[in-house]
Amino acid sequence: MFRITGHQGKSYADVVFQRDGERILETYPSDMLAPMADILERFEHGESDQPRDFFLKQLAWQIPLENSGGELSNSKTDLLPHQILLTHQVVSAHRRRFHVADEVGLGKTIEVGMILRELVARGEARRILVICPAGLTVNWQNEMRDCFRIFFDILGQDFTDANPYAWERRNHVIVSIDTIKKRERLDKLMTKPDWDIIVFDEAHHLSRKRYGKKIDVTQNYRLAEKIKGTTRNLLFLTATPHQGDPYQFWSLIQLLDDQLFDTPEAMQDHRGLLGRVMFRRIKKEVTDAQGDPIFMRRQVHTQKFQLSLREQRFYEKLTEYLKEGYNAAGAGQDKTTKQQRAVGFVMATFQKIMSSSPRAIKQALRRRLIALYARRQMAREASEALRQLTQDLHAFNLEYYRELKGRFTLEDLRCFTEKAALRLGGSFIPSGDIINISVPPALKKYPDVASSYTNVTFSRKLATRKKGVDLLGLGHPFIDALVDYFRSEAISGDVLLARCTGMSATVAARYLFTIDFEDGSRRERYEALVIDGHDPAADLSGLSGKGGETGLTNPAKNIEDKLRILVQNQDAKIRSISEGVVNVRALRRDSGGKLTA
């Protein structure tokens, strides 16, 4: 009830409640309404909800908050430890402005997809803008759709900005950097609603250089400089952030945090601070979950032919050069830049010239040598500069990944889903790892939820390798609807007084702590505060176990003062381990008493 009004001597109350996932407003005469007992009153009067409803409701609050690394998402891709670690680090950060500079092949696009999937699930990324080279727009759209079930529109392909409301109606947009940097388009964009997160792919194209006292600023850099103020979260992606120019690299970092380094020299002197805005992992250090290297060393087998001494020397030298050229051209990579493709074309041309005559290839190589000598030297200097600047960044740590893994797995989510779907009158029919589900009527009114699902699974390995199998996880419409429904008032699962087999005697209150930070961001923590007895057992074991007779305990009395102290202690703990906290609010989710049979 949020408002009482009077009319012709009678009072009426406006009441808001939830029904089938929708918020309903209705008006009743005040004399038809009676105050409801709060959680503590119900607990002290010995009232109890059903154990199954209690555990399902508490899990519905806990599971999404335990997915900071994306392990519970419905991402149809093999998730590697370094990707899960990065997702956790970015999602958990108060200020999400980072430069992801992992080496080519480590899956930066996948990492961004995992981050977006988790932020969308948390309601922190409703409006997303991806800016990339024109040749990568469709790739981004396909990967976000196929791997993460996030649907994007491409400006110029799926819609145009001729309609003045186009930017307001599209919340997930991909646009090429050459398209959006045009003044008339950028002006339109700047007048529209802000974005929750903006991603720049191939961010090394955002360049600003200094020649003596003259500073050359590209249109791409001006675009980023202008648009960075329209979002709270900003991600840069590139495997080659340092082009051999300290001022250019410093300028790139300035776009993310202009307070970190005053000058390029300060960046060199305090390079350890780069870890605040930059991640860089290299292939030789990353592993799978078992600690085995992901990228194996090359094993090259050469077939030898008998050549004259002079021929042999010539072909050895030329082959060495061509190998170096093809590596620079990105041979074997999924994505290559325009510059890399140009180098590849030159190498192929040299092969054709070589088959013409030794004299022709000799002249071509001589001309090429003069043109590339200075450029090659700059590239080597850039690589060494990047190595030195990033040597103090935190490297990939498998042990940190193992410590980070959340309390829940996809198999645990499967257990929750099965119990919850059956509780609401749906069906859950497994055949090995493949499952067929009939959606409960209460969930069919949720957006994008189908009436049934066939050939679905909670096995990420199966979903990524078998065609036509959909992965169930957070981010899937059915799972999201199920979680939302059990969080709502439609399910009464706030108080439990029961004798549950295998559980220690305990009295505990569950709280949802909402933490507001100086930068406007917000985080939530689910905590069980023990009033009496031992720490409560995991709710998943209570959901899976037997027992659960209610009304068998003698509820503790006068616990409100104890709870007030526990909440104050937890508030102080949160403020001590977090920076920039403005406010901490505590919402009690339940009270519960459980005894061992």
| Lowest-confidence pick of 352-366, 459-473, 583-597 | 583-597
- Would you say residue 389 has pLDDT above 90? no
337 pLDDT above the threshold of 50: yes
Tell the burial category of 13 from Cβ atoms under 10 Å away from its Cβ (0-12, 13-18, 19+): middle
Instruction: Count CB atoms within 10 A of the CB of residue 412.
Output: 20
Give me the chain's average pLDDT, please.
82
CA distance 350 to 365: 8
Evaluate if residue 406 carries a pLDDT over 80: no
Q: What angle do CA 147, 153, 155 make, to 5 degrees?
A: 135
191 or 592, which is more confident: 191
> How far apart (Å, rounded) are the C-alpha atoms in residues 435 and 164?
45
Decide if pLDDT at 580 tops 80. yes
Residues 463/147, Cβ–Cβ less than 8 Å:
no
User: Which pLDDT score, from 0 to 100, does residue 145 have?
Assistant: 92
Rounded Cα distance between 17 and 588, Å, is: 19
> Span 527-556, mean pLDDT?
69
pLDDT at 301: 73
What are the angstrom distances between the C-alpha of 579 and each of 95, 574, 582?
11, 9, 9
Burial of 560 per CB tally in 10 Å (0-12, 13-18, 19+)? exposed
* Residue 597, pLDDT above cutoff 50: no
Instruction: Please write the tens of the pLDDT for every residue from 262-314.
Output: 888 888 888 788 888 889 888 888 888 778 888 776 677 777 667 678 767 87
pLDDT-based confidence at residue 354 (cuts at 50, 70, 90): low
138-191, pLDDT tens digit by residue?
A: 999 999 998 888 999 999 999 998 888 889 899 999 999 999 999 888 988 998
Please, what is the end-to-end C-alpha distance for the chain in angstroms? 40
Q: What is the dihedral of CA 159, 165, 170, 171, to 10 degrees?
A: 150
Strand stretches in 66-190, DSSP E: 97-100, 128-132, 153-154, 172-176
Instruction: Give the domains, in start order, of the chain with CATH numbers.
Output: 1-35 (no CATH), 73-290 (3.40.50.10810), 309-378 (no CATH), 403-487 (3.30.360.80)
State which amino acid sits at residue 196: D
User: What's the CA gap between 145 and 154, in Å, rounded?
Assistant: 13
DSSP conformational letter for 37: P
Q: How far apart are CA 205 and CA 182, in angstroms?
A: 16
CA distance 468 to 456: 9
pLDDT at 456 over 70: yes
Alpha-carbon span 182 to 167, nearest angstrom: 16
Please write down the HEC assignment for all residues of 59-87. Answer: HHHHHHHCCCCCCCECCCCCCCHHHHHHH
pLDDT of residue 382: 54
| Closest of 590, 592, 597, 596 to residue 38, by C-alpha | 590
Minimum mean pLDDT among 28-32, 86-90, 276-280: which range?
A: 28-32
Buried b (16+ CB within 10 A) or exposed e, 28-57: eeeeeeeeeeebbebbbeebbbbbbbbbbb
Q: What is the pLDDT of residue 363?
A: 75
Q: Give 393's pLDDT tier (boundaries 50, 70, 90).
A: low
